[in-house]
C-alpha cells in the first residue's frame, strides 16, 4: 500500500533577504509586472514516480496546478 500523505514545507524567505533585495534594487521583487503571453511556467521533476514517493512533492501539486491553470487562462505556456 502506498503512503498517500501530503506534506508542505514550512519554508520562508528571511526578512534580511527581503531587505537585501530592497537595498540592492530599490524594491522587493525583481519584476513589478509580466506579460502572460510571453511567460512560461516550467515544472521540473513532478513525474509520477517522484511525486508518488515523496509526500512533500504531493504537498505542492495543488499550488503548481493553481499556477498552471491561472497562467494558461491568461495565455501563458506551461511546460
Cα 69 to Cα 16, 41, 44, 66, 76, distances in angstroms: 32, 10, 16, 5, 10
Q: How does pLDDT run along the chain (79 residues), one tens digit per residue?
A: 467 789 888 889 999 999 999 999 999 999 989 899 999 999 998 899 988 999 988 999 999 999 999 999 999 999 9
Q: Which residues contact 29 (CB under 8 A, 6 or more apart)?
A: 21
Residue 51 to residue 5: CA distance in whole angstroms: 11
Place of cell 533577504: 17
Please report the pLDDT score of residue 2 as a whole number: 64
Amino acid at each position: 500500500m502506498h503512503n498517500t500523505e501530503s506534506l508542505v514545507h514550512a519554508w520562508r524567505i528571511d526578512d534580511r533577504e527581503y531587505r537585501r533585495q530592497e537595498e540592492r534594487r530599490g524594491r522587493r521583487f525583481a519584476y513589478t509586472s509580466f506579460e502572460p503571453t510571453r511567460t512560461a511556467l516550467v515544472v521540473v521533476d513532478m513525474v509520477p514516480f517522484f511525486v508518488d514517493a515523496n509526500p512533500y512533492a504531493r504537498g505542492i501539486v495543488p499550488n503548481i496546478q493553481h499556477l498552471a491553470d491561472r497562467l494558461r487562462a491568461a495565455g501563458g505556456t506551461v511546460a
